[in-house]
Amino acid sequence: MALPDMVGMVVKDINESLKFYRMLGLDIPDVKDGEDFAEVITPNGYRLSWNSLKMIMGLEPDWVEPVGYRMGLAFKCENPAEVDALYGKIINAGYRSHKEPFDAFWGQRYAQVVDPDGNVVDLFAPM
């Protein structure tokens, strides 16, 4: 049986994308100039990879960039205050908000920010 192992993201600017995801606490190794790929194993054991648009087009010249949300990633925070603090840190760094922090009816403090490629990223913590 095959098991899910990695989420891969196609990104327009790998360095800008890695900067954003480092703000979320991921310890992503630096890429050298001209490198088109980065990968990290998260503390809970799954892998995330960032693949440059240039690399993807080299592998699949007919690849068509998707329209709309490309994926959903959610980052669990330790507590509701951390959701607010992380949201503020990201917005103050110049990234866009999708939803300001709020107390969701499903029992979480919840917010959404937008990464450099337009993907909505969830921040949440149990109430």
Domains of the chain (ranges; CATH) run 6-59 (3.10.180.10), 73-126 (3.10.180.10)
Return d(Cα 113, Cα 123) in angstroms, integer. 8
- Residue 42 has which token pair? 């998260």
pLDDT category at 37 given cuts 50, 70, 90 is very high
Cα 29–Cα 120–Cα 103 angle in degrees, nearest 5 = 110
**Structure pTM?**
0.88
What band does 112 get if pLDDT is binned at 50, 70 and 90?
A: very high
pLDDT reported for residue 70: 63
Residue 103 banded pLDDT, cuts 50, 70, 90: very high
| Exposure letters 44-63 (e unless 16+ CB within 10 A, then b) | eeeebebbbbebbeeeeeee
